[in-house]
Amino acid sequence: MTVTPHYEQQYLDLMRRIWEEGDERIDRTGVGTRSVFGATMRFSLADEAVPLLTTKRIYWKVAAREMLWFLSGNTNIRPLVEQGVHIWTDWPLDNYRRETGEAIDRDAFEQRIINDNAFAARWGDLGPVYGAQWVDWPRYEPVEGGLFRRAERGHNQIADLVAMIRSNPGSRRLLFTGWNVAELAGMALPPCHMTYQFHVADGRLSGLLFQRSCDLGLGFAFNIFALAMITRMLAQQCDLEPGEAIWNGGDVHLYLNHADLVETQLARTPSGAPRLKLTRRPESMFDYRIEDFAVVDYAPQSHVAAPVAV
């Protein structure tokens, strides 16, 4: 009898291989990583399956709120912080401390972001990151004298994608990207989950993500959930069934200060088959709310905390 391995096994196998054989180097953050180049994982989304890790608890609502924030086009951490989502605070905080020399702690910084409009506008923005490029990629229009001005509304890649999936599902151009070369310098971090492509076969929509840089211990769990989530949303909007989530990583790494996390997860056995439910069919990709998502049959092992490299 052959037993199908649990979907999470491919993640644990990659984690072990990087930890044991990855190339060790000092990275941009100074923390140090072990790294491999090029990896693929595939997860079924059929029957509402969702690739949540089970060898530690994943706060999927944090990742879901982040995805809804991307789709809103907002690039300021304020709406995240207002919802108790702290995952993007460290970069503006680091910038604020460097520029002002003030030794403010994270809670106080977040309070000021919430309470003070001008402060949030000055210190809370990440630059033209994901949301800006996804729904408002800048367009320029000619004005007199050979000059150009920025059009009031940019390209909405997500709205265009929905229209294209509906009208031409066989297209090989069903994609959107955050990698706007001309604007990279203004971003707090250049996009990691940078290009998403979609494919329709047999009435099923599959999503493929190319992620140039992946923090396998921390970011990956969020990135793979988000890929599944947006693929499900697009399938719902386009009257398709969910197919697969396919993940392609470029530089896939483990930070050297994640030893406890790696050893704990590798000592655990994945189990269970969580499902993601979309409880309502909103008007468009831009009308989803956090209440529209529910995860059932998710019984993970305990959360394992790990430091984020800034």
Ligand X SMILES: O=c1ccn([C@H]2C[C@H](O)[C@@H](COP(=O)(O)O)O2)c(=O)[nH]1
Ligand Y SMILES: Nc1nc(=O)c2c([nH]1)NC[C@@H]1CN(c3ccc(C(=O)N[C@@H](CCC(=O)O)C(=O)O)cc3)CN21
Active site residues: 192
Q: Which residue is nearest to ligand Y (CB)?
A: 219
Say if residue 28 carries a ligand binding annotation: yes
Q: Which two tokens stand for residue 245?
A: 């989530």
What track of x and - describes contact with ligand X for positions 161 through 190 (by CB under 6 A)?
Answer: ----------------------------xx
Q: Does 185 count as an annotated binding residue? A: no
State the binding string over 194-233 for ligand X (x if CB under 6 A, else -): -------------------xxx---x---x----------
Contact with ligand Y (CB under 6 A) among 215, 227, 243, 253: 215
Rounded to whole angstroms, how far apart are CA atoms 288 and 232? 12
Q: What angle do CA 147, 150, 154 make, to 5 degrees?
A: 145
Determine if 308 is a binding residue for ligand Y (CB under 6 A): yes
CB of 65 to ligand Y, least distance (A): 10
Find residue 242's DSSP bridge partners.
205
192 binds ligand X (CB under 6 A): yes
137 binds, among ligand Y, ligand X, none (CB under 5 to 8 A by kind): none
Establish if 184 lies at the interface with ligand Y (CB under 6 A): no
Q: Is 253 annotated as a binding residue?
A: yes
Give the separation between CA 166 and CA 256, rounded to whole angstroms. 45
| Residue 79, beta-bridge partner list | none
CB contact burial 284-297 (16+ within 10 A = b; e otherwise) = ebeebeeebbebee
CB of 272 or CB of 307, closer to ligand Y: 307
Question: Taking CB under 6 A as the criterion, which residues in 137-156 touch ligand Y?
Answer: none
Q: What is d(CA 116, CA 154) in angstroms, rounded to the nearest whole number?
A: 29
Rounded to 10°, the helix 157-167/219-237 angle is 50
Does 133 engage in binding with ligand X (CB under 6 A)?
Answer: no
Contacts with ligand Y in 88-107 (CB under 6 A)? Answer: 88
Given ligand X, ligand Y, none, residue 87, with its beta carbon under 5 to 8 Å by kind, binds: ligand Y
223 is in an annotated binding site: yes
Q: Which listed residue (32, 62, 212, 295) binds ligand Y by CB under 6 A?
A: 62
Contact of 173 with 148, CB cutoff 8 Å: no
Q: Closest separation between CB of residue 116 and ligand X, Å?
A: 27
Residue 66 binding ligand X, by CB under 6 A: no
List Cβ neighbours of 230 (8 Å cut-off, separation of 6 or more): 67, 196, 207
173 annotated among ligand-binding-site residues: yes
Closest CB to ligand Y among 214 and 238? 214
Judged by CB under 6 A, the residue of 10, 72, 73, 87 near ligand Y is 87
CB of 135 to ligand X, least distance (A): 18
Q: List residues near ligand Y by CB under 6 A.
A: 59, 62, 86-88, 189, 215, 218-219, 222, 308-309
Q: List residues near ligand X by CB under 6 A.
A: 28, 189-190, 192-193, 213-215, 219, 223
**Binding-site annotation: residue ranges:** 28, 172-173, 212-215, 223, 253-255, 309
